[in-house]
Amino acid sequence: METGIKGTRTVVVTDEMTAEHVGSGMLPVYATPEMIALVENVASNSVAPYLEEGTGTVGTKINMDHVSATPVGMKVTVETELTEVDRRRLVFSVKAYDEAGLIGEGTHERFIIQNEKFLGKAQAKLDRK
């Protein structure tokens, strides 16, 4: 996998995507957790075609500034670019826009994992509780 892989996705903000609805605030504006989820979705999907069979990626770190509020009904577009590949570690530059301009920017880190091994380790936690 090489740097430069880009991803993009546009959504229309609905009532279900607001801070008021998801519990991250009290106002009917695009929620930060929704923006983060969209960033992870776009980054993950952008590199998926380049992964070996049986592997996937998991998000491990995100550093985003949410700099502007977006009302219900407005489009939000997230753009990601893979800027660093360090063995299994992938780092993305991310930006989010609404129809009026920049609403968020930062970085996102994902790791390439073996799907079955990863799930096995997660499931093993149940045996230890």
DSSP secondary structure, 46-73, as one string: HHGGGSPTTEEEEEEEEEEEE-S--BTT
Task: Grade residue 127 by pLDDT with cuts at 50, 70 and 90.
Answer: confident
Question: Which pLDDT value is given to residue 118?
Answer: 96
Q: Residues with Cβ < 8 Å from 29, sequence gap 6 or more?
A: 18, 19, 20, 69, 70, 71, 72
% of residues, the chain, pLDDT over 70: 100
Q: What is the pTM of this model?
A: 0.94
- The pLDDT value recorded for residue 128 is 83
**Exactly one of 34, 40, 79, 109 is catalytic; which is it?**
40
- Which of 3.30.450.20, 3.10.129.10, 1.10.3210.10, 2.60.40.1190 would CATH assign to domain 6-128? 3.10.129.10
Q: Is 18 a catalytic residue?
A: no
Select which of 32, 55, 77, 107 is catalytic: 32
> Across the chain, what does the average pLDDT equal?
97
Rounded Cα gap, residues 10 and 51, in angstroms: 24
Catalytic residue among 18, 34, 57, 66: 66
- Tens digits of per-residue pLDDT, 51-104? 999 999 999 999 999 999 999 999 999 999 999 999 999 999 999 999 999 999
Tell me, yes or no, if 108 is annotated catalytic.
Answer: no
Give me the residue spans of the domains in the chain: 6-128
Token duo for residue 70:
């977006």
Q: Please check the confidence at residue 116 and state whether its pLDDT lies above 90.
A: yes
What pLDDT was estimated at residue 46?
98
Q: Report the candidate in 80, 91, 96 with the shortest Cα–Cα distance to residue 35.
A: 96
In contact, 4 and 15? CB cutoff 8 Å = no
Rounded (5°) CA angle 101-61-102: 5
Active site residue 40: yes
In DSSP terms, 104 is beta-bridged to: 66, 96
